[in-house]
Copies of this chain bind each other. A is one copy, B any other.
Amino acid sequence: MKLITRNTDYAVRALCFIAQSKKKKVTVEELVRVLEIPGPFLRKILQILNKKKLLKSYKGQNGGFSLTKLQDKILLTDLMKIFQGPLKLNECIFKKQVCPNIKTCKLKKKIDKIEKCVISELKSVSLAYLLKKN
C-alpha cells in the first residue's frame, strides 16, 4: 500500500537538490554522492525527467541537469504520473476483465471518494512546498 514508489521518491529528492543548488547545472555524479542513490538507476530517472521536460540536460564536459520550471510549477502528481502511471487507487480489473459488480459496488464508490481526497491533497504538493522551511 505504497503511495509513492522509489523512483518517484528519488526523483523528488534529486529535484530538491538541484533546485537548492547554487550551481547552474548539477551532475549525476554529485547527486549520487550526496543522495546515496544507486547511480545507474538515478541516471535513468533523470533521463526520463529530461524527456518529460521537467529537467533540461547538458551533455559533454560541464554537463549536467537543471530545472526547466519554477519550483511551484513542479508538482508531486506530475512525478507520480510519470513513474507510477495514472493516479488511481483501484482499477477493479482482474485479468483484463472489469469486475461485474462495478456499477453498484459500494466499496468501489468509497475508494473513489477517498481517491478524490488523496489526489486533491497531493496536487497541493509542489517542489516549492517541499523545500519551504517549517
Interface of A toward B, CB cutoff 8 Å? 1-4, 6, 9, 12-13, 76, 80, 84-85, 87-91, 94, 101, 106-107, 110-111, 113-115, 117-118, 121-122, 125, 129-130, 132
Bound Cα distance A106, B127 (Å): 10
Question: Which residue of B76, B110, B114, B118 is within 8 Å of A107 (Cβ)?
Answer: B76
Q: How many copies make up the complex? A: 2
Bound Cα distance A80, B1 (Å): 10
Task: Say whether A4 contacts B122, CB under 8 Å.
Answer: no
Task: Say whether B6 contacts A94, CB under 8 Å.
Answer: yes
Task: Pull 20 A–B residue pairs with CB atoms less than 8 Å apart, ordered by A.
Answer: A1-B3, A1-B85, A1-B88, A2-B89, A2-B91, A4-B107, A4-B111, A6-B94, A12-B107, A13-B101, A106-B129, A106-B130, A106-B132, A107-B125, A110-B121, A110-B122, A114-B118, A114-B122, A117-B118, A118-B118
Bound Cα distance A87, B130 (Å): 24
